[in-house]
A and B are shown apart, each in its own frame.
Chain A
Amino acid sequence: MISIENLTVRFGGVVALDHIGAEFSANVSGLIGPNGAGKTTTMNVISGFLDAHNGHVIVEGTDLVKLAPHKRVQWGLRRSFQKEQIANDLTVRENLMAITDHLRGARVEKRADLERAAEFAGVTGILGKMGRDLNTFERRLTDVARCVIGHPKMIMFDEPAGGLTPEETERLGDLILGIHDLTGAKVLVIDHDVELIERICAETLVLDFGKRVAFGPTSEVLRDPAVQAAYLGIDVEEEHA
């Protein structure tokens, strides 16, 4: 269970998140909303890159807001970025090791864990490739491998399907669906691809202008007139005509 309580973030006078609350119990949940709605801001607060003015994020009894950012990773938080952040001058393997370096455990275990994550994400064949030589899809797959490494408890993907072809998006969706069985982690996905969200996310939170518009089972949420008006830009009248 990921429970977000009363999360509030302000940038100067702008309220980027306004008392957001939601309890995600699904294995894979979605976070959607128009541009500038506050989706990435939500993830940044959960990661600890931004300080919340108010609120808590409680996962398996731990209040993440109280931990330093790197401690959250040790606890089991993983994320990918809207603009991927693979280090160019490291190989894929080194990019993965950069995470296991800071986790507890024996070398052999870490190595086996790395191989398992690479195998799962399908990057075993490119472990020796330099970050700068990866194409968009390989980068996304490396992101997936980074996220499932080292017994994660919660994983967040910020627009993982950005820039991917429909086939690649489908494969990525399958991977994300497999994460819970592999690791037991809860997954939170931001994406503008509603089809992808509908397919992989059982529950979805919709934000607009930093406010919660709707939350619940994805299919219901997507049918909510308020969501269609705010997010999908569909004129409700037209839809019913």
Chain B
Amino acid sequence: MRSTTNTIWAVLGLALILVLPAFAGGQWVKIFTSTTTFALAAAGAGFLYTRLGMVSLVQVGLMGVGGWVTLRLNHAFNFPFEINLMVAGAVTMFLGNLIALPALRMRGLYLALITLMFAAGLDIVFTAKQFPNGAEGFWGVGTTFAADMRRPVVAQSDAAYLRYTMVWLVIGFVLIELHRRMAPGRAWALIRKSEAAALASGVNVTLYKTWAFGLSGLLAGLGGGLLAGSLGLLDSATFRASESVMLFALVIVGGARFWYGAVIAAVLFRVVPGLLNNWGVDADLSLVIFGAALLHAVMTAPDGLAGQINGAIRTLIPSRKSDNKGAKA
């Protein structure tokens, strides 16, 4: 059961990486690319929520930081894209660690509020300072500027860049899954059970909480950096605090226990408004749809849409005995 579902998913994923960029036309390539970058951030929020039971409402804000750092480095130096991306990830990982500090003392709603305050703070800075576009100075913003954004050598075209972003998303999922299967995953499971249980097992709770927030921040930063590479210019409106809240809500709707829940969340986040636009419907209608979906998830589907998909797969593929671990990310 476990290996068959995993193989199916691997084949599907690979097919998608090969086919989607080749067939998506025009603006859709960009939309899918940004969907993929948001899926990275959603995966971070989702794993924090399911593995540690902690709510982070700052993921999109951290994406903004990742994007800012990537643009800043791109315009200031001649490093290859990967280096800029790595530095962006390192910076947001560090910010994640910083946000973990209040998490050591607070939990539940209070922690969520603290992360939201972080997001609001970033929101204010982004709105005031905007994103570097190649002008002089530390903030690097000029009105008539639009300097070149260097993309990775292997991903110059939009289609290739979508493929490149998808590979990063896979790396993100693999990173989370490796953590889950090793010592940090076990420590996190105990912390989620209770901090007393974790302490009684010798878990350094401070270290592992900090680590988890760092990993989640890293994923957000990579997502933001990749988004910057796709668009070349970033807009502060993309990284509003409300966007972080929305992404988290969609992570719940998508289903945080499963890796494809993050993909579903990002698709809802990015593709649904685009579709509505295409159909000539006000994109704000998506808020109503998401609200209804969130209510549905909270009331009837605690594991979200991904949980329902997983349930359907399980009834389709008969298994010898229920294998709870296999299909879960």
- Which residues of A pack against B, CB within 8 Å? 47-49, 69-70, 73-74, 78-79, 81, 85-91, 94-95, 97-99, 101-103, 130, 132, 146
Question: Is the beta-carbon distance between B193 and A101 smaller than 8 angstroms?
Answer: no
> In whole Å, how far is B210's beta carbon from the nearest beta carbon of chain A?
14
Question: Is the beta-carbon distance between A90 and B189 smaller than 8 angstroms?
Answer: yes
For B189, B199, B200, B203, which residue has the most chain A Cβ atoms within 10 angstroms?
B200
A90 CA to B197 CA, complexed, in Å = 13
A81 and B200 in contact, given A97-B186, A101-B186 (Cβ under 8 angstroms): yes
A78 CA to B183 CA, complexed, in Å = 19
- Top 10 A-B pairs, shortest CB-CB distance: A73-B202, A85-B197, A102-B202, A101-B183, A98-B186, A87-B189, A69-B199, A87-B193, A90-B189, A99-B201
Question: Is the beta-carbon distance between A81 and B197 smaller than 8 angstroms?
Answer: yes
Q: Which residue of A lies closest to B191 (CB)?
A: A87
Question: Is the beta-carbon distance between B193 and A91 smaller than 8 angstroms?
Answer: no
Contact of B193 among A88, A99, A102, A103 (CB under 8 A): A88
A182 CA to B200 CA, complexed, in Å = 21
A69 CA to B201 CA, complexed, in Å = 9
A78 and B325 in contact, given A85-B194, A98-B190, A101-B183 (Cβ under 8 angstroms): no
Question: Is the beta-carbon distance between B197 and A79 smaller than 8 angstroms?
Answer: no
Question: Is the beta-carbon distance between A98 and B189 smaller than 8 angstroms?
Answer: yes
Using Cβ atoms and an 8 Å threshold, which residues of chain B touch A74? 202
A103 and B202 in contact, given A98-B186, A98-B189 (Cβ under 8 angstroms): yes
Check B187 for interface membership: any CB of A closer than 8 A.
yes
A227 CA to B79 CA, complexed, in Å = 77
Check B300 for interface membership: any CB of A closer than 8 A.
no
A73 CA to B202 CA, complexed, in Å = 5
Question: Is the beta-carbon distance between B197 and A87 smaller than 8 angstroms?
Answer: yes
A81 CA to B325 CA, complexed, in Å = 26
Main secondary structure of the interface of A (DSSP, over half): mixed
Using Cβ atoms and an 8 Å threshold, which residues of chain B touch A87? 186, 189-190, 192-193, 197
Check B7 for interface membership: any CB of A closer than 8 A.
no
Main secondary structure of the interface of B (DSSP, over half): helix
Count of residues in B whose CB is under 8 Å from the partner chain? 19
A91 CA to B186 CA, complexed, in Å = 10
> In whole Å, how far is B37's beta carbon from the nearest beta carbon of chain A?
29
Check B245 for interface membership: any CB of A closer than 8 A.
no
Using Cβ atoms and an 8 Å threshold, which residues of chain A touch B281? none
Contact of A146 among B186, B201, B324, B325 (CB under 8 A): B201
Using Cβ atoms and an 8 Å threshold, which residues of chain A touch B190? 85, 87, 90, 98
Using Cβ atoms and an 8 Å threshold, which residues of chain A touch B197? 81, 85, 87
A142 CA to B205 CA, complexed, in Å = 22
Q: Which residue of B lies closest to A79 (CB)?
A: B200
> In whole Å, how far is A130's beta carbon from the nearest beta carbon of chain B?
5
Check B196 for interface membership: any CB of A closer than 8 A.
yes
Q: Which residue of A lies closest to B194 (CB)?
A: A85
Using Cβ atoms and an 8 Å threshold, which residues of chain A touch B189? 87, 89-90, 94, 98
Using Cβ atoms and an 8 Å threshold, which residues of chain A touch B202? 70, 73-74, 99, 101-103
Check B277 for interface membership: any CB of A closer than 8 A.
no
Contact residues, B7-62 vs A (CB, 8 A) = none
A86 CA to B200 CA, complexed, in Å = 11
Contact digits for B98-127, partner A, Cβ 8 Å, 1 yes 0 no: 000000000000000000000000000000
A132 CA to B324 CA, complexed, in Å = 10
Q: Which residue of B lies closest to A75 (CB)?
A: B202
> In whole Å, how far is B245's beta carbon from the nearest beta carbon of chain A?
26
Contact digits for B179-215, partner A, Cβ 8 Å, 1 yes 0 no: 0000100110110111011011111110000000000
A78 CA to B325 CA, complexed, in Å = 28
> In whole Å, how far is B52's beta carbon from the nearest beta carbon of chain A?
11
A-B contacts, 5 of them at CB < 8 A, read A81-B200, A87-B189, A87-B197, A88-B193, A102-B183
Q: Which residue of A lies closest to B205 (CB)?
A: A70
Contact of B203 among A48, A70, A94, A132 (CB under 8 A): A70
Contact residues, B224-251 vs A (CB, 8 A) = none
A49 CA to B200 CA, complexed, in Å = 9
A73 and B200 in contact, given A91-B325, A101-B186 (Cβ under 8 angstroms): yes
For B183, B190, B325, which residue has the most chain A Cβ atoms within 10 angstroms?
B190
A98 CA to B190 CA, complexed, in Å = 8
Q: Which residue of B lies closest to A47 (CB)?
A: B200
Contact digits for B267-304, partner A, Cβ 8 Å, 1 yes 0 no: 00000000000000000000000000000000000000
